[in-house]
Amino acid sequence: MTKTRPTLGEFIIDNQQDFPYSTGELSRLIRSIRLAAKVVNHEVNKAGLVDITGAAGEQNIQGEDQQKLDVFANNIFIQTLTNREIVCGIASEENDDFITIAGSRNDHKNKYVVLMDPLDGSSNIDVNVSVGTIFSIYRRVTPLGTPVTSEDFLQPGNLQVAAGYIIYGTSTMLVYTTGHGVNGFTLNPALGSWYLSHPDMKFPENGNIYSINEGNYAHFPTGVKKYIKYCQEEEGDRPYTSRYIGSMVSDIHRNMIKGGIYIYPKSTKYDKGKLRLLYECNPMAFIVEQAGGKASDGYQRVMDIMPTELHERSAIFCGSKKMVEKAEAFMKEFGD
Residue 333, marked binder: no
CB 47 within 8 A of CB 68: no
Terminal Cα-to-Cα distance of the chain (whole angstroms): 49
The 10 Å Cβ neighbour count of residue 202 is 15
Q: Is the pLDDT of residue 312 over 80?
A: yes
Please state the pTM of the whole predicted model: 0.93
Residue whose C-alpha is closest to residue 262's, from 276, 248, 282: 248
Whole-angstrom Cα distance, residue 120 to residue 165? 10
Q: Is 235 annotated as a binding residue?
A: no
94 is in an annotated binding site: no
Annotated binding residue at 138? no
Q: What is the pLDDT of residues 117-168, one digit of tens each?
A: 999 987 777 777 889 999 999 999 999 999 999 999 999 999 999 999 999 9
pLDDT at position 37 over 90 = yes
Model confidence over 289-300: pLDDT tens digits?
999 999 999 999
Q: Is the pLDDT of residue 65 over 70?
A: no
Q: What is the largest CA-CA distance in the chain?
A: 65
C-alpha of 87 from chain center: 19
Residue 316's region, left for phi above 0, alpha for psi from -120 to 50, else beta, is: beta
What is the pLDDT confidence band of residue 270, given thresholds at 50, 70 and 90?
very high
Q: What's the CATH architecture for 209-334?
A: 3-Layer(aba) Sandwich (3.40)
CATH: 3.30.70.141, 3.40.50.1000, 3.40.50.460, 3.30.540.10. Which one for 8-198? 3.30.540.10
Fold match, 8-198 / 209-334: no
The domains of the chain are located at 8-198, 209-334
Is 124 a known ligand-binding residue? Answer: no
CB-based contact 133:37 (threshold 8 Å)? yes
Any known ligand binding at 206? no
Q: Which tens digits make up the pLDDT trace of 86-123?
A: 899 999 999 999 999 986 666 888 899 999 999 998 77
Q: Is 119 annotated among the ligand-binding residues?
A: yes
Q: Does 213 belong to an annotated binding site?
A: yes
The response to whether 122 counts as a known ligand-binding position is: yes
Identify the residue with better confidence: 6 or 129. 6
